[in-house]
Chain A
Amino acid sequence: MVTGGEALFGEGRIAARFAALKAQKRSGLITFLTAGDPNLETSLEVLKALPAAGADLIEVGMPFTDPMADGPAIQRANLRALKSGAKVRKTLELVKAFRARDQATPIVLMGYYNPIHRYGVPAFLRDAKAAGADGLIAVDVPPEEDEELALPTRGMGLSFIRLATPTTDEKRLPKVLQNTSGFLYYISLAGITGVGTYNPSAVAAAVKRLRANTTLPIAVGFGIRTAAQAQVIAGIADAAVVGSALVDCIGEAAAGAKKPAEIVASATALVRELAGGVRRASQPGA
């Protein structure tokens, strides 16, 4: 439980942010970037600039050589980051540097299990919490393997955010929800990140079905690239997630050999636009 005056962390910070969004009668914008893309210094500058540009929550991708649930955009971002020397430890340092200046914006670490496994689960969770991370999304750790990571994560007071997908049927949904905390992340289409288009009415029906089964906030992602798309999703869900579009934007700016400040400017311009879309949406369910 969060009490007044105490510093917020983990589940508390995420809950506080969704409560604040509710009070403002709007949905949130969640932005994703890969830690260390195109290098650590630049990604820290982008990260620091995201809240002011309109990001309500931030997902920080932990680079991995074999991101098998990701499309070409995030695959390339992973490679750029690894090439520039990204490591789990450096990702956590990035979060720590961000947290020193911003105590309100929740940070969710997103990645694949092997780098966490190698770091050691208890050590990783301890260091992630100390750095100021609030939650974790592990793409390749389903409920069937909950004792591996989900339960230790929650035991540490961090949120374990699970993905629900178009293949998650009524029978499976309780299992997906069981140890999920913070919010539920609905994937708008069966596929990989940044590829394909979803059907908004199918997403609306799916979110309705999820709401009947959980009181957790629901974020929707995969395939959202424009302010108009973000606006539509924000009218359906509690938050819209944008990943590949921002990652592409950073990648293109970096390829143009732009200075860090210019990369930050490109990224924040896109996020401001997306945030505008989200803020134009009517509150979900209203």
Chain B
Amino acid sequence: MKQIPNTFKAGPDERGHFGIYGGRFVAETLMPLILELEQAYREAKADPKFQAEIDYYNTYYIGRPSPLYFAERLTRHLGGAKVYFKRDELNHTGAHKINNCIGQILLANRMGRKRIIAETGAGQHGVATATVAALFGLPCTIYMGATDIERQQPNVFRMKLLGAEVKPVTSGSQTLKDAMNEALRDWVTNVADTFYIIGTVAGPHPYPAMVRDFQSIIGKEARQQMMKAEGRGPDSLVACIGGGSNAMGLFHEFLDDANVKIYGVEAAGHGIETGQHAASLTAGIPGVLHGNRTYLLQDDDGQIIEAHSISAGLDYPGVGPEHAWLRDTKRVTYTSITDKEALDAFQMCAKLEGIIPALEPSHALGWVKKLAPTLPKDHIVLMNLCGRGDKDIFNVAKALGTKL
């Protein structure tokens, strides 16, 4: 694996491996379901009607393509590279998560599944899942950590309005990883009728590849839009990484463009050195959790360490296996931004661009803030602004010491 591959876009292999990462580490009860899903997805992918359905909902329901926006005032403020935003925060439901949910619910429909489950951290994936379940008239149960329910009340209410049942998860750290454990427990119990819509590029094969495929529209659109805007492609890509779906969505299109520098930004929480962070690629060790081998925050005994980030959507001790592989092959540079840096970037974006970003892409912004000033003015940085910050205003107010 020390060899540089000819292409970075061929993965995973037929067993779901990206290098040594990925795979299918699930209980036997789930194996037949995973194999059936893989088969169904392979067939759907080859069926032009399936792609046509996705295109229809992308255009008329989600509102794609999302704009590519030149952040002129931010660019001037930072005084270096030209900064562009891919504005996936303007999608229906306010984040990139819906791109994946439309794809998966159409697949669930093809497979005749009658019930939808999902896990959620910040609640963006939960809202997107509840939305598509409402759209297709299917009952939906969302697992959410009790801690996250507390800090993401607006999204909890949204999910309920959309007709979903939100089940609080009180086991473990009561955040995203525990919600995923609980969703897996539900799935293993309700194997006959249930479709599990995983929200990120993690989990057992085929999820990492499938979610990436559904999200890769972000990068495909961005390439065309950038050609139109600048007559050429971007020089650098920046996206935040929790599980890593918005990042894979942007990066995948450009992985074989050798001259494009790619940055994935993890959540450094209170600082990597404090141990209170969610930066599994920066400070984790390879292990096996939730169906795949990847970098994990874990102790010497292989016990999973609770992640910390001000952003509930990045608060996960693992990461998608394709990112683990891109890290080891050094195709992507992974870096991290603290809670405080993200909060600063959040406010900067609001004041300079009139856009309130979600706390998740505020981490990407935090890196852009450091990176752009070091680059020449003809350098183009493309950042995925993958979610809007309405859901975060209460937490940000609290962090800034403002009473609402």
* Contact B185 A118, beta carbon cutoff 8 Å: no
* Contact A140 B171, beta carbon cutoff 8 Å: no
* Contact A87 B29, beta carbon cutoff 8 Å: no
Task: Give the one of A66, A164, A190 with max B CB within 10 A.
Answer: A66
Interface residue ranges of A124-150 to B (CB < 8 Å): 139-145
Q: When chains A and B are docked, how far (Å) is the Cα of A195 from the Cα of B189? A: 9
What is the distance, in angstroms, from A157's C-beta to the closest C-beta of chain B? 24
Task: Give the one of A75, A165, A176, A195 with max B CB within 10 A.
Answer: A165
Q: When chains A and B are docked, how far (Å) is the Cα of A82 from the Cα of B180? A: 20
What is the distance, in angstroms, from B57's C-beta to the closest C-beta of chain A? 31
* Contact A187 B29, beta carbon cutoff 8 Å: yes
List residues of chain A with CB within 8 A of the CB of B172. Answer: 65-66
Q: When chains A and B are docked, how far (Å) is the Cα of A88 from the Cα of B301? A: 7
List residues of chain A with CB within 8 A of the CB of B184. Answer: 68-69
B49 beta carbon closer than 8 Å to chain A: no
A200 beta carbon closer than 8 Å to chain B: no
* Contact A69 B27, beta carbon cutoff 8 Å: yes
Q: Which one of B106-114, B286-294, B323-331 is at the A interface? A: B286-294
* Interface residues in A, total, Cβ within 8 A: 45
A198 beta carbon closer than 8 Å to chain B: no
A113 touches which of B31, B177, B288 (Cβ 8 Å)? B288
B191 beta carbon closer than 8 Å to chain A: yes
What is the distance, in angstroms, from A101's C-beta to the closest C-beta of chain B? 26
What is the distance, in angstroms, from A75's C-beta to the closest C-beta of chain B? 6
CB 8 Å contact bits of B291-319 with A (1 = contact, 0 = none):
10100101011111000000000000000
List residues of chain B with CB within 8 A of the CB of A187. Answer: 28-29
Interface residue ranges of B27-64 to A (CB < 8 Å): 27-33
A162 beta carbon closer than 8 Å to chain B: yes
* Contact B27 A139, beta carbon cutoff 8 Å: yes
* Contact A144 B24, beta carbon cutoff 8 Å: yes
Task: Give the one of B25, B285, B296, B298 with max A CB within 10 A.
Answer: B25
B28 touches which of A64, A71, A115, A168 (Cβ 8 Å)? A168
B321 beta carbon closer than 8 Å to chain A: no
B355 beta carbon closer than 8 Å to chain A: no
Q: When chains A and B are docked, how far (Å) is the Cα of A113 from the Cα of B25? A: 8
List residues of chain B with CB within 8 A of the CB of A192. Answer: 185, 188-189
A73 beta carbon closer than 8 Å to chain B: no
* Contact B27 A163, beta carbon cutoff 8 Å: yes
List residues of chain A with CB within 8 A of the CB of B138. Answer: none
* Interface residues in B, total, Cβ within 8 A: 38
Assuming the contacts A117-B288, A144-B31, A167-B29, asked whether A88 and B302 have C-beta atoms less than 8 A apart, the reply is yes
A116 beta carbon closer than 8 Å to chain B: yes
List residues of chain A with CB within 8 A of the CB of B24. Answer: 142, 144-145
B15 beta carbon closer than 8 Å to chain A: yes
List residues of chain A with CB within 8 A of the CB of B26. Answer: 140, 142
List residues of chain A with CB within 8 A of the CB of B189. Answer: 190-192, 195-196
* Contact B304 A65, beta carbon cutoff 8 Å: yes
Q: When chains A and B are docked, how far (Å) is the Cα of A116 from the Cα of B33? A: 26
Q: When chains A and B are docked, how far (Å) is the Cα of A75 from the Cα of B170? A: 11
B93 beta carbon closer than 8 Å to chain A: no
Q: When chains A and B are docked, how far (Å) is the Cα of A166 from the Cα of B303? A: 30
A172 beta carbon closer than 8 Å to chain B: yes
A114 beta carbon closer than 8 Å to chain B: yes
What is the distance, in angstroms, from A177's C-beta to the closest C-beta of chain B? 12
B333 beta carbon closer than 8 Å to chain A: no
What is the distance, in angstroms, from A268's C-beta to the closest C-beta of chain B? 29
Interface residue ranges of A158-185 to B (CB < 8 Å): 162-169, 172, 176
A190 touches which of B191, B298, B300 (Cβ 8 Å)? B191
**21 cross-chain CB contacts under 8 A:** A64-B302, A64-B303, A66-B172, A66-B289, A66-B304, A68-B180, A68-B290, A69-B29, A69-B188, A112-B288, A113-B288, A116-B302, A117-B286, A118-B298, A140-B25, A144-B24, A164-B28, A165-B28, A167-B28, A167-B31, A190-B188
Q: Which positions in A face B, CB cutoff 8 Å?
A: 63-69, 71-72, 75, 82, 87-89, 112-119, 139-145, 162-169, 172, 176, 187, 190-192, 195-196
Q: Which positions in B face A, CB cutoff 8 Å?
A: 15, 23-33, 171-172, 177-178, 180-181, 184-185, 188-189, 191, 285-291, 293, 296, 298, 300-304
